[in-house]
Amino acid sequence: MATLAVTAERENYLNKEYGIRSWLLTTDHKRIALLYLASITFFFFIGGFFALLIRLELLTPAGDLVQADTYNKLFSMHGQVMIFFFLIPSIPAVLGNFLVPLMIGAKDLAFPRINLLSWYLYIIAGVIYLHCIVTGGVDTGWTFYTPFSTAFSNTRVIEAGIAIFIAGFSSILTGLNFVVTIHRMRAPGMTWSRLPLFIWAHYATSIIQLLGTPVLAITLLLVVFERAFNLGIFDPTRGGDPLLFQHLFWFYSHPAVYIMILPAMAVESEVVACFTRKRIFGYNFVAMSSIAIAVFGFLVWAHHMFVAGISLYSALIFSILSYLVAVPSAIKVFNWTATMYKGSISFTTPMLYAFGFIGLFTMGGLTGLFLACLGIDVHVHDTYFVIAHFHYIMVGGAVMGYLGGLHFWWPKISGRMYPEGWGRLAALLVFAGFNLTFFPQFILGYMGMPRRYWQYPPEFQVLNVLSTAGSTILAVGYVLPMVYFLWSMRYGKIASDNPWGAAGLEWQTPSPPPTFNFDETPEVTWEAYNYEEIPAPAEVNVER
């Protein structure tokens, strides 16, 4: 039965104050999380729109939908929007912002005003980038490689560079806030070994944001300076080395992929534990592997440059290191799987996303190892094999982690349940659509179809058509949650404090939480994932 808001609603962070000023000038981490939710969803659909145009063009071998120059802009902006304005912020800025203080028993993040500043920097960056899009866009590839970006491109490189530079500082400030909060503001009794693995993973993510993003910032700044002031740092005609740009760029951009996946792994740990009703197997290993991923992730960047002209010896070093970085990720996959063994499993929407995540992330990760092998990479570099690989991780992994997390914590965030039937349907559509879109691309790449080409030999058409068909299913799967989440805010079943019977401090405060999170500062005397002490809910989100 549809329930409207009950009379005499308890005061919470949503109804404490109304009006646009109370939202735009808020310092409440929970409201800021929702501000981010709205903004990144907006950019997700912009990036998705570019993707749809790409897939439409690729329905036919000829370049017949858009011109080649336009196609270059499409894939460049699809990448930049999706990475910098959707994936990098997504889980940390939405779920991390909302949950980190709650999970550790704090009233807010360490620096609430810097948190708001972080969002405004994101918005300013987004507005600048939108202006870039409508005034001609950028065609350098999301990677801004020199000297094309500095000397030859006729598109809005400076504007895009400045926008992403500013977005980078938004990311840095979020990371800074999380690290200080986790070190300094844990509730009494919340020792490091009692922290949810969600916190460990976000801590690791924040380290990457802090140490890697500044290098991207300086690199983009140098590109902007070179273009604007005719400096010669990357100009080969004046003795500059285009590879220097690539070293600097990938020093950030490889760890950036771990910024995108670690938070999804954070969600995975929480969801798997809850819907198997067990402590995550090998807690210490999972916690340490998050840190290991953050550290090792900085040691492998030149695997993006194997065929660019680096020395063979450095290629060997980076290849070996790239194999090593897979180990901590694999440890996590084994541990999640081991958790499920003899667990009491419920196939709720978040758990469906979690299952999808494990399988798809594993495939993406394994194909990364193929690419780490020098011999194979020579063959498949710059082909659709690479595109399939990273979409398996970023979409099959990160986006599904994000959606799973949104569903899992939706009751806490909104005080409402989403409709479970629709949730499961959307999850299945996303899974099916995703695989149909991207699995053919592995084959295409292996067969030799290059990436970033707007036309292709006719023998590749069948697989491309399948891929495009998949993308339409995927699109439906993404639109559905938008619709029913909005629907649920008015008509969804009212959620209890802990509808999933989950462990974690965030579930011990009302749904939605009061502005200062806890009526009294919690004192923690129990270990994380104490499921043996928590009764399973009588019914898990059964729709009436």
Please report, as ranges, the residues that interact with another protein according to CB under 8 A.
11, 106-112, 172, 176, 179-181, 183-185, 210-215, 217-219, 221-222, 225-226, 229-233, 237-241, 243-244, 247-248, 251, 298-299, 301-302, 310-314, 317-318, 514-516, 519-521
Token pair, residue 383, equals 């082909």
What phi and psi, each to the nearest 5 degrees, are found at residue 16? -60, -40
Enter the DSSP assignment of 202.
Answer: H
State the Cα–Cα distance between residues 390 and 368, nearest whole angstrom: 8
Query: Rounded to the nearest whole angstrom, what is the least distance from the CB of residue 285 to another protein in the complex?
Result: 23
Give the N- to C-terminal CA distance of the chain in Å, as an integer: 6
Query: Rounded to the nearest whole angstrom, what is the least distance from the CB of residue 117 to another protein in the complex?
Result: 13
Query: Rounded to the nearest whole angstrom, what is the least distance from the CB of residue 89 to another protein in the complex?
Result: 17
Cβ closer to another protein: 240 or 501?
240
Residues 6 or more apart from 291 whose CB is under 8 A from it? 200, 203, 204, 207
Cβ closer to another protein: 309 or 450?
309
Would you call 535 exposed, middle or buried from its count of C-beta atoms within 10 A (0-12, 13-18, 19+)?
Answer: exposed
State the Cα–Cα distance between residues 221 and 166, nearest whole angstrom: 10
Query: Rounded to the nearest whole angstrom, what is the least distance from the CB of residue 299 to another protein in the complex?
Result: 7
Tell me if the bond preceding 112 is cis, omega within 30° of 0: no
CB atoms closer than 10 angstroms to residue 381 = 19
Enter the DSSP assignment of 196.
Answer: -
Using only the alpha carbons of the chain, give its radius of gyration. Answer: 23
State the Cα–Cα distance between residues 454 and 456, nearest whole angstrom: 7
State the Cα–Cα distance between residues 481 and 422, nearest whole angstrom: 8
Cβ closer to another protein: 459 or 523?
523
Query: Rounded to the nearest whole angstrom, what is the least distance from the CB of residue 286 to another protein in the complex?
Result: 22
Q: Judge whether 256 and 83 are in contact, CB under 8 Å.
A: yes
Cβ closer to another protein: 149 or 467?
149
C-alpha distances out from residue 442 to 251, 381, 387, 483, Å = 26, 12, 8, 32
Cβ closer to another protein: 13 or 434?
13
Query: Rounded to the nearest whole angstrom, what is the least distance from the CB of residue 515 to another protein in the complex?
Result: 7
Residue 438 host element (H or E):
helix 420-447
Cβ closer to another protein: 239 or 535?
239
Cβ closer to another protein: 183 or 490?
183
Query: Rounded to the nearest whole angstrom, what is the least distance from the CB of residue 276 to another protein in the complex?
Result: 35
Residue-wise burial string across 467-495, b where 16 or more C-beta atoms lie within 10 A, e elsewhere: bbbbbebbbebbebbeebbeebbeebbeb
State the Cα–Cα distance between residues 35 and 54, nearest whole angstrom: 29
Give the 3-state secondary structure of residue 383: strand
Cβ closer to another protein: 114 or 124?
114
State the Cα–Cα distance between residues 139 and 155, nearest whole angstrom: 6
Query: Rounded to the nearest whole angstrom, what is the least distance from the CB of residue 115 to another protein in the complex?
Result: 11
Query: Rounded to the nearest whole angstrom, what is the least distance from the CB of residue 197 to another protein in the complex?
Result: 22
Query: Rounded to the nearest whole angstrom, what is the least distance from the CB of residue 454 to another protein in the complex?
Result: 32
Cβ closer to another protein: 210 or 443?
210
Cβ closer to another protein: 56 or 233?
233
Beta bridge pairs of residue 416: 494
